[in-house]
Structure 1
Amino acid sequence: MTTTISIHPTVDSAYRATDAAFSGGTLVCRCTSRPVKVRVKSDIAHNHACGCTKCWKPEGSLFSVVAVAPTENVEVLENGDKLAVVDASALIQRHACKECGVHMYGPVERDHPFKGLSFIHPERFEEKGWAEPGFAAFVSSIIEAGFPPDDMPAVRAKLKDSSVEPYDCLSPALMDYIATWTAKKNGVLTN
């Protein structure tokens, strides 16, 4: 069994929100020279640990921590020339710093329930107070990155001990939202 499991520094440190009225802030990449700065002009929602293989993760972490904000509230402030889309075919258009690799924001622009939202990594905020991760999504996906399947019970136990409920998809509320959007789009639901 793995002796040390590093979920993510935010989860491992038991980070908790410190400002019930958090209204956004400035995300900064890791570069010491000409860092990319992105302003988020609203609070974040659905902050969670993500085990997918596409999200940016800090060195040594099994999970990313990612939340969403309305794309209309996301603005590149400085050094946007250093940004490039990681995978133009992906649903989430992750704009990453070409020098340090940090994903700064990822809008959803295609026809999808999350269209109009941008995915961000709140630990990159200069400000404190943002909501702590409320759940873990795509937990089994860490196996796809090489994590030993036999150690998955320990990962799920650590997540639960950190008050981060593990799911192998999204949270029930988000899965309901996606299913509702799909049903309305297909005419199965009308309201």
Structure 2
Amino acid sequence: MGRLDTEAMTGLVPDFLAVIHPAISHPSAQVEGFIGGLLKCQCDKSPVVVSVGSQASHNHLCGCSLCWKPDGALFSQVAVVPRDAVHVTENGDKLGLVDPSAVIQRYACRDCGVHLVGRIEASSHPFYGLDFIHTELSTDVGWEPPKFAAFVSSIIEAGFPAAEMPNMRRHLRSLGLEPYDCLSPELMDAISSHIVLQKQSRPRQRVEVAAE
């Protein structure tokens, strides 16, 4: 995870834009018909290369403490793509699991620490079949830009002053990124719908009542 300069955030944050995420300072436009590109870790030599054959979806900023963030950034930038569109093409031997017990199996480069792919192996999970990626690791132009900010209050755990959270939320809105303390309503609705379908598909248990 990137280092965070908490001293720079004492009192009023001097530069919200720089603190949020470096990619927000230089936003790129989504290109119609874009079909993916290459992601690379930050190693100068023999970087891990991941080929993604799909446009990203639900790209957003995430304030949770588990997602990989560039040095100095408060937020991660994370999106999802179909699992079958993701292929490690170079130096995959450098990848290792960050936490084998986590729901999202995050694969990071052992040398530079950058997370390349997050994968869910539990077939019952609402997001099974989708891989999590960080599009700023690609030099290809055309990826979907971030659309909202999730788990915003979690940046307090990284040292951001709680008193400055109203200012942070106002600034995120000024960038067109609605702040949530969970995922977006669209994704939360999808999760709840998945849970309902799972419950409906479970066979009902037969209850036998003993005769008196």
TM range (shorter): over 0.9
State the 4+ residue runs in structure 1 displaced beyond 4 angstroms: none
Name the % identity. Answer: 52
Q: Distance in 2 between matches of 1:137 and 1:18?
A: 20
Name the larger-Rg structure.
2
Distance 1:160 1:129 in 2: 23
Number of the residue aligned with 1:3? 14
Q: Would you say the 8 A contact 2:98–2:105 is kept in 1?
A: yes
Letter of the structure 2 residue corresponding to residue 58 of structure 1: P
* Structure 2 counterpart of 1:25: 37
**Aligned partners of 1:3 and 1:10: how far apart in 2?**
18
The equivalent residue for 2:181 is 168
DSSP-derived class of the 2:170 partner: helix
Structure 1, residues 4-63: CA drift from partner, whole Å, max 9, x if none? Answer: 2211112233x1324111111100010010000000111110000000000110111100
2:8 maps to which residue?
none
After TM superposition, the score normalised by the length of structure 2 is 0.86
Q: Distance in 2 between matches of 1:183 and 1:18?
A: 34
What whole-Å deviation, never above 9, does each CA across 1:68-92 have from its counterpart, x for those lacking one?
0111110000000110010111111
Aligned length: 187
2:85 to 51, 73, 97: 73
Q: Partners of 1:180 and 1:37 in 2: how far apart?
A: 35
* Whole-angstrom CA distance in 2 between matches of 1:20 and 1:61: 29
Counterpart for residue 101 of structure 1? 113
The answer for unaligned runs of 5 or more in structure 2 is: 1-11, 202-212
* Structure 2 counterparts to residues 54-73 of structure 1, below 5 A: 54-73=66-85
Q: 1:29 & 1:38 partners in 2: Cα distance?
A: 9
SS for the counterpart of 2:38 is strand
Matched ranges for 1:18-167 at <5 A:
18-110=30-122, 111-167=124-180
Query: Which SS does the other structure have where 2:61 is aligned?
Result: strand
What's the TM-score once normalised by structure 1's chain length?
0.95
Gaps of 5+ in 1: none
Question: Deviation at 1:145?
Answer: 1.5
Conserved? CA contact 2:63–2:76, under 8 Å:
yes
- Letter of the 2:120 partner, please give it: V
